[in-house]
Structure formats: structure tokens, C-alpha cells
Structure 1
Amino acid sequence: MNGIGIDSSRIDAMVAQLRNAATRAAGSVAPPKAAEDVAPSSKVDFSQALRSSLDQVNGAQKKAESLGERFALGDDSVNLSDVMIASQKASIGFQATVQVRNKLVSAYHDIMNMQV
């Protein structure tokens, strides 16, 4: 197996990146606030929250598509792992969006079927 093998240095580098990301994610998670700590005047507009979520999913899909195109064209600055991670993030975001849509449609039907 001369020349055909797994480059262990790249695997070690990827594992180190994953550990760093996990450490950052664990350190950035704040404890949940108690109900009395939340200001009563902080109201969230549902349409703005929905629009923001849709924009984030759209951005993730565009980023994944862009990285895929750059990788396919042979851009050396784009790794396959980056393309796959971006693609999975976009896929998960889209699936969550579809589930939210399904719940909204179901709630709409429930409300329309209520007796007044």
C-alpha cells in the first residue's frame, strides 16, 4: 500500500476541528433564564421571526450550493467536508421549515373547523 492510504494527519486535523467546535458550542450555551428574569415588554413579532428563519434557511441553501459549485469546479480552497456539512445544514433547515409549515397548516385547519 505504497501511496494509497489514508492521510492520518488530515484526519487528526479534522478531529481537532470537531473538538474545538464542540468546546465552543458547549461554552457558548447559556443557562435558561427564569420566567421572572424575562422582561414583559420584550414581545416577538411572529411574522418577523418566521421571515428571519426563512432567510436563514435560504442563506444556508445558497451557501451550500455555492460551495458545491466551487468544489465541482476544482477550487482548492473548498474541502469536500465543508461542502457536505453545508449541504446537511441546509437540508436539516429545510426539513425543519417544512415541519413548521405542516404544523401551521394543521393549526389553520383546526381553527377553521372550530364551532363558533
Structure 2
Amino acid sequence: MRVGGTAGGINQVMALRQEILQRSQALQQVRTGSASEASGTDAAQAGTPTGAPGQVAGFADTLQNAMQDVSAVQKRSSDMQAAYERGEVTDVAKVMLARQEAGVAFEATLQVRNKLLSAYQDILRMGG
């Protein structure tokens, strides 16, 4: 009975990951505005794993890439905020959007972490 629950937990994590990727792409499209509309292939390629076509990235690679993406979003947000404080960026909407995107990325990462931890604990309980 628990095996199905664990498989369901993994499916939930994967579904959550897909939702995160979709939200991230939507935020990137909003942030870039008409530039992303002019080059629609960039948005389509953003969700595809790197490597040869048909090659499936491992779980560790996928997780590492996701963490690097979150880190990059947070760094960009921090850089934009610092530039705004120095007076280099005058569009407060862009700064706030970058902060919101960083917050969403962090929250999504935290939710994935919680789901993975819960699945790991379920697996540990199965062994006993």
C-alpha cells in the first residue's frame, strides 16, 4: 500500500516541478515583454533539458540545474535591487518583478524539497 503512496509522491514532485517550470517561463515572458514574442523559440527551448535529443537527464542533474537556475534568478534580483539603490535602474516595476520571480522560485524549491523529504521518510518507514 505504501509503495503506491511513494510512487504517487514522486509523481506529485514531478508534477510540481513541471508547474514550477511553466510559472518560471510565464514570468520570463512577462519580464522580457515583446522580446520573447519576437523570438518564440527561446521560450520553447527554456524547458528542455540540455544534451542530445532524446537523452533523459538524471535526477541529480535535473535537481542541480534547478538549484542553479534558482540561484541565478536570486542573484539577478539582488543585482537589480542594488542597481536600483545606486540609481542605475529607474524602473521599479522591473525590480519588483525580479524580486517576485526570485521569491516564487525559492518557494517552489522549498516545496519540492519538502515533497522529497516526505517521500524519503516514507521510503525509510517501508524498510522497517
Task: Assess same fold via TM > 0.5.
Answer: yes
Total equivalences in the alignment: 88
Structure 2 residue runs without a partner (length 5+): 1-31, 45-52
Would you say 1:65 and 2:78 are equivalent positions?
yes
Q: Structure 1: which 5+ residue stretches go unaligned?
A: 1-16, 31-37
Match of 1:90 in 2: 102
TM-score, length of structure 2 as denominator length: 0.58
Query: Which protein has the larger Cα radius of gyration, Structure 1 or Structure 2?
Result: 1
Percent identical pairs in the alignment equals 33
Question: Does the 8 Å CA contact 1:63/1:86 hold for their aligned counterparts?
Answer: yes
- Asked whether the 8 Å contact 1:67–1:78 carries over to 2, the reply is no
**Rounded Cα–Cα distance in structure 2 between residues aligned with 1:62 and 1:22:** 21
TM normalised by structure 1 equals 0.64
Higher helix share: 2
Q: Which has the higher contact order (CA 8 A, sep 6+)?
A: 2
Q: What is the root-mean-square deviation in Å for CA atoms of aligned residues? A: 2.4
| 4+ residue runs over 4 A deviation | 21-25, 27-30
- Check if 1:74 corresponds to 2:74: no
